[in-house]
Structure 1
């Protein structure tokens, strides 16, 4: 068995992507069913995300969806990847997670991000702007203070039933997220958005700057990325085409279209810019047969020293997606 893979936890992030010909409510129900399947396959966590007014993405209220997922499962950890803290008041977030942990003790994770709304209009509707992301470290400290009962921003204000509970908290490494995680002594969730080299430098910086805290004695790194496994390399590549095209389309049209079948994507006539963005969206993704993916994962985990891998794959064909996760679970259990 690969020592790198066998020592690493594998988890799932589902964004509740809408498929062509389907609707948002169906995508949310698919997420709940997918969590049950991930639990049966032995994955460690199942996280949901926060997106506001984004076409093609149904996941807008992560704590509400996390409650539905936790109620439909029994052993898998459930959390958010993440709650975008600048969009919310820390007191309300603490209260929501306090309720989740009280109802599902020992199974809830609190993943926190610093992103704000997708457009100026969404930010205005949320009552926040880009500058709010700059207050992320302060917001994190206030939020954690509600759990410890030591927050000083609002004296005599207590988060019920959160106070006294200890829920694992994670920071998503967007912007200054890695520095915030290190300073607060929290686990880091990071993806190779700007390339593997920059990601690895951020991981090293996080470990060097990490300050032990009541929330974490040692650095803990969760790599996040897209992985597709199939019987052949080409079949695995086709699993990734719908999300890659959706990402490329969003860069030119400002919205994510519903995920279309791979054969539809393969037959599209793209402009030169669309083709370049489509190719770019496929870089850094890991796909192939079980042997090929196992080799790629082992090398990536060895280079990064990651403690956990959060798989974020989406596609139109849910049967192919489930088969990919099933094959990946087999890799992590037997290789």
Structure 2
């Protein structure tokens, strides 16, 4: 069996399933982290979403602490903390606590997104303009780890000072420039739009500026849904619940809990729903082991990526874990 030699990591969004409580999704995340560690994945990250019925993960630093406590070797982090929603000092303090409790295992991943509706943004106390302040907030966050922010003399973010967990910036093609200027690792998705992806990665590498609080060299993490099964059709079926949730959110404005694939495949969809559904299924990398390793190897070769962050969600937990197990085997991690 052909293998890919790139390190693999996991981002789990704590996806809820129809009829099941959010707490179950969070406990599934912690169990999944132990399974990912046993399979040899490098990192296990959690995410931040607010007022989303289909996602239980709204407090990533809290959940990251639970994951780190339940594991012993795998790196744990956030993909990511949405910096516009938080004061940089508070984020530094939270990660200082995590790094102090679990030294050498914590990653700090930050993103630029704000709530997707006006109501959520009002509840969080932020506006769309907060996205434009991201780079300023990112610089302040780094300052807190470095001894204190210049704008707040004699104020300290204990216990964060001098700890400096590795910094990752979640980005689309535009955000790649911010990651480069910050000297941070770049986490970038959009596997379906390969040309734009390659262009953004190349721009990041050319503009990268080493930082004492960041990295000496560029580091690229490709993020995307990847599904592996005995057949191509089985792998596609694993992705159907998430594809439908995305299609439903685009057409109804609500991101719902996951539903069984067989119910979705038998459902009558509007033309608009069907269009979004099929588009969502064109994005992931999926298939048999040979199909996936061939496609993934080509992507890694073209982008020069240093790592792949697997973001796959699915209604069927058994099939989902089997996919991650097969993928780990392709990387020699099992």
Q: TM-score w.r.t. structure 1 length? A: 0.97
Q: In structure 1, what is the equivalent of residue 255 of structure 2?
A: 256
Q: In structure 2, what is the equivalent of residue 103 of structure 1?
A: 101
* Correspondence for 2:60 among 51, 59, 62: 62
Q: TM-score w.r.t. structure 2 length? A: 0.97
Structure 2 stretches of 5 or more lacking a match? none
SS of 2:290 mapped into structure 1: helix
Contact 2:53 2:257 survives alignment (8 Å): yes
* Correspondence for 1:182 among 180, 183, 192: 180
Q: CA deviation at 1:253?
A: 0.8
How far apart, in 1, do the equivalents of 2:223 and 2:55 lie? 19
Q: CA deviation at 1:21?
A: 2.0
Q: In structure 2, what is the equivalent of residue 87 of structure 1?
A: 85
How far apart, in 2, do the equivalents of 1:24 and 1:195 lie? 33
Q: In structure 2, what is the equivalent of residue 198 of structure 1?
A: 196
How far apart, in 2, do the equivalents of 1:198 and 1:140 lie? 24
* Correspondence for 2:35 among 37, 56, 66: 37
2:160 matches 1:162: yes
How far apart, in 2, do the equivalents of 1:121 and 1:194 lie? 31
Change (3 A) 1:175 1:85: farther
Contact 1:15 1:48 survives alignment (8 Å): yes
Q: CA deviation at 1:118?
A: 1.7
SS of 1:170 mapped into structure 2: strand
Compare 276-285 and 63-72 and name the one that shifted more. Answer: 276-285
Contact 2:173 2:196 survives alignment (8 Å): no
Which runs of structure 2 are paired with 1:1-335 in the superposition (5 Å)? 5-6=4-5, 8-174=6-172, 176-192=174-190, 195-214=193-212, 215-333=214-332
Q: Deviations over 1:280-303 (max 9, x none)?
A: 111121111111111111101001
> Alignment length, in residue pairs?
333
How far apart, in 2, do the equivalents of 1:194 and 1:122 lie? 29
How far apart, in 2, do the equivalents of 1:53 and 1:102 lie? 30
Structure 1 stretches of 5 or more lacking a match? none
Contact 1:98 1:162 survives alignment (8 Å): yes
Compare 325-334 and 234-243 and name the one that shifted more. Answer: 325-334
Q: CA deviation at 1:164?
A: 1.2
Compare 117-126 and 192-201 and name the one that shifted more. Answer: 192-201
Contact 1:232 1:288 survives alignment (8 Å): yes
Q: Deviations over 1:305-334 (max 9, x none)?
A: 000000000010000000000000001118
Contact 1:240 1:315 survives alignment (8 Å): yes
